[in-house]
Structure 1
């Protein structure tokens, strides 16, 4: 029952400041390692090969660490705590709900809150843009921060979960098509796409099933394929018709407006704090469905 226990621990405690203000979070440690390898290896020639080597070192270290923790003679206690730390459902809900709380004060407060969870420009956002960004982040991170780690734990135990998390962290740091990282971050980006392929689609299905809306599935594949990411579009494409809103669409990065297509283009575009609340309810229901599945798998 390690996985269900880890899910409940994460949902109850989240990421307590009193702990992570005193000791570095494992994701922060992974980030430091990735940054160090980036500084040392991302130069000169053969950058793609060096990026492959970087991913190999990171994943081998993560798998070995997970294996060592899993074999400790402690009746699974440390493994349960480790798995809980690698999940991020409660913190996801807290961050998304904070945007709704901010919007109820002012658009500026909403922008400040959403800037903590998205990478796009926020200074020119109106209230609908802010709410839409929060819901998109919630849907995408449900896949990256909850369902995908659970999936890889079910497939390969704690080593699989740790490998997924370090690859996902690497992709968020170096997996960009910029002059500096297009070659060096290629392996991290491609491996992250592979590891998220099944979880992203599973997340979309769970969102609709857990919220009693499987009839919306026929819209999901087409809308998901409009997204610039091969995976992030799937949970967004499920959340949008569930709430009867449009997601994605035009947004600004680094001062340049990008004309991205709408997900569920016929949905409402006047998204507000109430829609964020409804999205959080949907996220909790999806988490509940995942918990039921984890319990069934543990019993089997």
Structure 2
């Protein structure tokens, strides 16, 4: 029941600005901790062992925090879990891109730059739309499905451990000279923690949209993606909407010719496709929430 109520609370309230303008969000606190640890320890020698120790420490601290907060009772568990699930805020950010793109290409670029890590200054309208849809699909997996999955397996400690590692991966899990060694452990653990949620997200999207292609095709197309996990929900979304995702893009001024996921799909897309992806993810969220409710009732009965 705790998980079901947390999902509903997040869907209703999202991220209240009046609250987080007055106090730091838990994700911000996690980020500050990781940034400080990185500043202290990410220097030669032995950067990889130091990163392993940081990863273990973050997981241990997250688990301990979860155990302590769980002792405060069901209401605390509901509130903390709702804060760490991000369905409503994700959908709002993606909807902002659609609305901005309708105003102008420049506005769309500014809006999508808030949710993607690639270069946006030279994007055309379809690239803006693809960026928003890809971000929506990937973040549905790691921002909603993964916290739900780890709460179901390990309660509040599981959710906080996951968010700690996922936040660390987003900050130091890069294969560049600065973070390649130090962020290695957090990046690999994040891949492991997201392995099942990514595939379950893809299956949910594929199922809720009528299985428009074979599951085997989703598996094959997911493997074209540079990420071991992000390709799964993106492949499912690409076939659900009959569009092409991934493909060429630029990072830090370097053009990367990534393969297309669903290369035969439509490439000339815009705000309508973004909004269809939002509808798809709300339907998938609804199915997941009903499943959680059903499992809760079955357990109680």
- Normalised TM-score (structure 2): 0.97
Question: What are the equivalent positions in structure 2 for 1:31-110 lying under 5 Å apart?
Answer: 31-72=31-72, 74=73, 76-110=74-108
Instruction: Decide whether the 8 Å contact of 1:216 with 1:242 is kept in 2.
Output: no
Contact kept? 1:216, 1:241, Cα under 8 Å: no
Match for residue 14 of structure 2? 14
Q: Is the 8 A contact 1:216 1:238 kept in 2?
A: no
Matched, 1:128 2:93: no
The CA distance in 1 between the partners of 2:217 and 2:273, in whole Å, is 20
SS at structure 2 position matched to 1:226: coil
Tell me what 2:159 maps to: 161
RMSD after superposition: 0.9
Residue equivalent to 1:255: 253
1:202 matched to 2:200? The reply is yes
User: Could you give the per-residue CA deviations for residues 176-227 of structure 1, whole angstroms, max 9, x where no partner exists?
Assistant: 1111111100000000000000100000000111222264423111111010
Between the aligned partners of 2:295 and 2:63, the Cα distance in structure 1 is 22
In structure 2, the partner of 1:274 is: 272
- Counting matched residue pairs gives 298
Secondary structure of the 1:176 match is coil
CA shift for structure 1 position 86? 0.3
Once residues 9 and 42 of structure 1 are traced to their aligned partners in structure 2, the CA distance between those partners, rounded to angstroms, is 38
For 1:174 and 1:297, locate their aligned partners in 2 and report how far apart those are by CA, in whole Å: 36
Q: Which runs of 4+ in 1 moved over 3 A?
A: none
- After superposing the two structures, state which structure 1 stretch, 206-215 or 100-109, moved more: 206-215
Distance across 2 between alignment mates of 1:118 and 1:216: 29
1:287 alignment counterpart: 285
The superposition leaves residues 158-184 of structure 1 with CA deviations (integer Å, 9 ceiling, x where unpaired) of 000110011000000001111111110
Map Cα deviations across residues 66-99 of structure 1 (whole Å, 9 max, x no partner). Answer: 0111122x4x001100000000000000000011
Deviation at 1:296, TM superposition (A): 1.8
What is the CA deviation profile of residues 203-259 of structure 1, one whole-angstrom value per residue up to 9, with x for unaligned ones? 000011122226442311111101000000000000001100000000011111100
Retained in 1: the 8 A contact 2:129–2:274?
yes
- Normalization by structure 1: what TM-score? 0.98
Q: Which runs of 5+ in 2 are unaligned?
A: none
- In structure 2, how many angstroms separate the alpha carbons of the residues matched to 1:12 and 1:71? 26
Query: For 1:214-233, what aligned pairs fall within 5 Å after superposition?
Result: 215-233=213-231
Which stretch has the larger CA shift, 115-124 or 213-222?
Answer: 213-222
3-state SS of 2:177 partner? coil
Shift in Å, 1:46? 1.1
Distance 1:39 1:297 in 2: 44
Q: Distance in 1 between matches of 2:215 and 2:105?
A: 33
Residues 5-45 of structure 1, C-alpha deviation per residue, up to 9 Å, x if partnerless? 00011011111111111100000000000001101111121
